[in-house]
Amino acid sequence: MNDIFWPEGYVPGFADNFCSNEVIVAGLAAEDVWPLLSVPSAWPRYYANAANVRFYDQAGPALAEGARFYFETFGFPVESQCVEFVPPTEDKPGRVAWHGWAGDGDTRLDVHHAWLVENLDRGRVRILTQETQNGKPAQTLARTKPNPMINGHQDWLDGLVDAARKARA
């Protein structure tokens, strides 16, 4: 199976916080999942922790490498820029990642949030989402139990899978 590509400064183990969530489900393909993940305005329909999505510079509605966008999540207003966007093919995984940031000074939070969507044998799809974070808010999140990032991203994955199944039906 494939891995996330990490930029310098955001490699897991060297960042202030890291979370990883993954599902493998039968009966779906990367092509079922990709439209729901690659269009941020769809996120609030299946993930309650995403709101007020908008693009800058006439970009959108789908993500594209270099596109700037904004959304609110985990109580943070997040400015973002898509840094990787590769739609899935039958033999290559879909990859999407963005750098997001919020706050200033001691409240500054910088994240690299990446997704990998790949077809597996026997009609299965693997969806992996991982995020690293830097800054004092990330340090606080890393110590919080239960971990809000792990739980929130699992909700995102579960909602994404449910929405893809409903769209396919």
**At residue 1, does pLDDT exceed 80?**
no
Collect all residues with Cβ–Cβ distance below 8 Å to 26 and sequence separation of at least 6: 122, 123, 124
- In angstroms, the CA 148 to CA 140 distance is 11
What does the pLDDT look like over 155-164, one tens digit per residue? 999 999 999 9
**At residue 58, does pLDDT exceed 80?**
yes
Mean of pLDDT values over 141-148: 94
Q: What angle do CA 41, 43, 44 make, to 5 degrees?
A: 90
pLDDT of residue 169: 82
Mean of pLDDT values over 85-90: 94
pLDDT of residue 74: 81
For the chain, domain boundaries: 17-168
Q: How confident is the model at residue 91 (pLDDT cuts 50, 70, 90)?
A: confident
pLDDT of residue 90: 83
- Please give the span between the terminal C-alpha atoms of the chain, in angstroms, as a whole number: 28
Q: Which pTM was predicted? A: 0.95
Q: How confident is the model at residue 65 (pLDDT cuts 50, 70, 90)?
A: very high
17-168 placed in CATH 3.30.530.20: yes
